[in-house]
Every structure is written in C-alpha cells, then in structure tokens.
Amino acid sequence: MRNRSMMSGAEFQCAREYLGLPVQWVADSLEVDRRTVYRWERGTFVIPQSAADMMSEWLYRTSLAVGKVTVEVLRHKDTPLLATSDEFDFMAAEGFPASWQRMLCSRVAERTGRGIVWMPLEDASSAIVSMAVNEAKL
C-alpha cells in the first residue's frame, strides 16, 4: 500500500496545472530552481514532503476560494467575472499568478454559468475575484 503522504510526480504536475500555476511561480514559492520542479514532475527527483504539503495546501485553499467566489457571484446577479490578462502586473499587485486567477474565474463560471470578461488592472481591487485571492493567500 502506498504511503498517503507521498505525492507522485504525475500528481504534483496535475495539481499544478489544475491550479493554473506556472512552473516558475511554484519554484519561486518553494525556493527551488524551476529545473527541480520539472525533475519532481518527471519522477527524476523525489518530491520533498514540504513541497507535497504546500501543493496540498494550495489545492485546499483554492477549493475554498472557488466556493466563496461562487457564492458571491450568485449573490451579485449583474456582475460578470473579471479576469486579468496581465501576468506581471497581477503578480506584482497580488502576489499570485494571473493564470491562477483566470483558473478561478473558469471554475466559478462553470458552476454559475456567468460570463468572464477582461478586467483592467486598476479595477482589480474592486473585483469579486480579488476577494478570493486575498482569502486564499497562496
């Protein structure tokens, strides 16, 4: 029987991609070289428990954020989901990759049937999705 706390390279990569997290962002967050992340995903290196735990935490927090934003979107019937297209500025402003925020919008849109539109960066702090970003603290 497999140790439940272990995470395979395939599981790690699938989780990272499911969350919309770029390899470089994961590497920076875990304070490793991006080649190390690729090696974990290929199974060349064993994934440290601390990295597996962090990925599990990101999955959990993202699940909570999707739920919170879904509720807020359903409460505000006339508000579209606003997604940012500017990776660098969103990361600088919020600390998370814009790809994660777009993934969140996609998951909420799937649950609510709400449309997604591009958001100017100056509107980021007023968007419903920014609430989830602040809540998740990836």
pLDDT by residue, tens only, the chain of 138 residues = 345 458 999 999 999 999 999 999 999 999 999 999 999 999 999 999 999 999 999 999 999 999 998 998 999 888 788 887 766 555 544 567 888 988 999 999 999 999 998 876 665 555 556 555 565 554
Which tokens is 5 given? 């706390």
How far apart CA 71 and CA 22 sit, in angstroms, is: 27
Q: Hey, where are the domains in the chain?
A: 9-136
CATH fold, domain 9-136, is Putative cytoplasmic protein (1.10.3100)
